Structure 1
Amino acid sequence: MAMSTGGNSGGPMSEINVTPLVDVMLVLLIIFMITAPLMSHSITIELPTANPKTKDSEVLVPPLDLAIKQDGSMYLNDQPVTEAELRAQLAVNAQKTPQPELQIRADKATEFKIVKKVIGNAKDSGMVHVGFMTTDAPKG
């Protein structure tokens, strides 16, 4: 208990009561003494290793390359296709095992609604793997 000694100065007390501080520090010391040994135990796990000679990597399926120009014209593997032909090709390729990836290359100025429609057609056909192709950023 802190008590002021002497004088009627009535000013602020300049002594610090350290008893609560010591109590808190002792509690923290006990908590750390109990929890520190628990943190030294390690859990060993066996991580999987990559095997590049599995069956999936031996069978390489060439991707479907779909180019979409600014005017909406489409080219599947460098051959011009209409929307109906594209849907038919996507339906045929969706049934293959393993399924090829559809790689979409759209012109920068192509409206997104055209690309969205192609993605919707691919999804409706059962295509699972759809990717977007871009060019490298100019260096310099």
Structure 2
Amino acid sequence: MAMNIRSGSGAGDPEVMMDINTTPLIDVMLVLLVMLIITIPIQLHSVNLDMPVGTPPTNSIKPEKIQIDIDENSVVYWQGQAVSAEQLEAKMASIGQLVSQPEVHIRPNKASQYAVFANVLSTSKRKGLTKMAVIGSEQFVQ
């Protein structure tokens, strides 16, 4: 700490002023900052992948696609035929047991109830379907 003593305006005791000398504090902080910057490892924004060499094998078998539509009245269609919730569950359970599951494409209408769409999604998850896609979602963008 530094102490600055200056004479008063002719009074008996001089006024004592005590200020903290911040120069050594700033010097120490700058040294610590430089040490921190030096010790931080260089971050690379790349991911090294070992990709296979050659051409990928061609898949001659096209996966089966199942289309589930939900119209504006919230009626569910399986491959173009209207189905009830129980029939939908039974059909999803039957394809959920297959080794090679087909792709299930769900296409809801913008005017349909969200509860029906959420029910179709939750049923597919419960029945173990893994290849799901929502088709026509661009109609929901405003």
Given the two structures, how large is their TM-score scaled by the length of structure 1?
0.64
| Structure with the higher fraction of residues in strand conformation | 2
Q: Is 1:22 equivalent to 2:51 in the alignment?
A: no
Q: Which amino acid aligns with 1:96?
A: L
CA–CA separation in structure 2 for the residues paired with 1:101 and 1:54? 21
Where do 1:79-94 residues align within 5 Å? 79-94=81-96
Matched residue, 1:38: 39
Distance 1:103 1:2, change over 3 A: farther
| Equivalences, count | 132
- Stretches of structure 2 lacking an aligned partner (at least 5 in a row): none
Question: Alpha-carbon deviations, 1:41-77, whole Å to 9, x = none?
Answer: 568x86225559657x846524322101122322223
CA-based RMSD of the aligned residues comes to 3.9
2:67 corresponds to: 65
Partner in structure 2 of residue 114 of structure 1: 116
Matches of 1:37 and 1:120, distance apart in 2: 52
Q: Does 1:5 align with 2:4?
A: no
The letter of the residue matching 1:64 is I
Q: CA deviation at 1:22?
A: 0.8
TM-score by length of 2: 0.64
Percent identity among equivalent residues?
Answer: 17
Q: Distance in 2 between matches of 1:95 and 1:53?
A: 32
